[in-house]
Amino acid sequence: MPTAPPSRCTEPGCRTLTPRGKCPAHQRPGWAGRDDKAARYGISSGRWRTLKARTGERDNWTCYRCGIPQDQLLADDPDAEPLQLDHITPVAEGGSVEDPDNLGLICVPCHTAKSAAEAARGNERRRARRQQP
């Protein structure tokens, strides 16, 4: 299948040729414009840290999906990120923001997989809303 020739970046004044849209220098970062936790959930960073500490103590600092303890995770790879606080049922799907029963610690690989599945469900909901008359 033939491809279109490169065109100029859509940023005013830029003459860089690009396959489509904006050149790499003018691309928006993936998370640009997204709210921080305080704006998104109404929770300060201090409150978020407190919830993480309480959840960690309750769950013995283990991932609620695969069960790996945080100390083993860091021992295997000292550069690994520690466990992250996660909403078990996403807030967008009706989960509570601060309910301890809806919070758990999750390792980065599990969080990445879970977030991808949540994004797919969110995209399906958006598509279904668009198709309704």
Q: In angstroms, rounded to a whole number, what is the distance separating the alpha carbons of residues 104 and 62?
A: 9
pTM: 0.68
- CATH 3.40.1800, applies to 44-133: yes
Q: Where are the domains of the chain?
A: 44-133
Output the tens digit of pLDDT for each of the chain's 133 residues.
667 888 999 999 999 999 888 898 888 776 566 666 667 777 888 898 999 999 999 999 999 999 999 999 888 888 888 999 999 999 888 999 999 999 999 999 999 999 999 999 989 988 888 887 6
Q: In angstroms, rounded to a whole number, what is the distance separating the alpha carbons of residues 98 and 37?
A: 12
Cβ(82)–Cβ(91) below 8 Å:
no
Other CB atoms within a 10 A radius of the CB of residue 63 amount to: 22
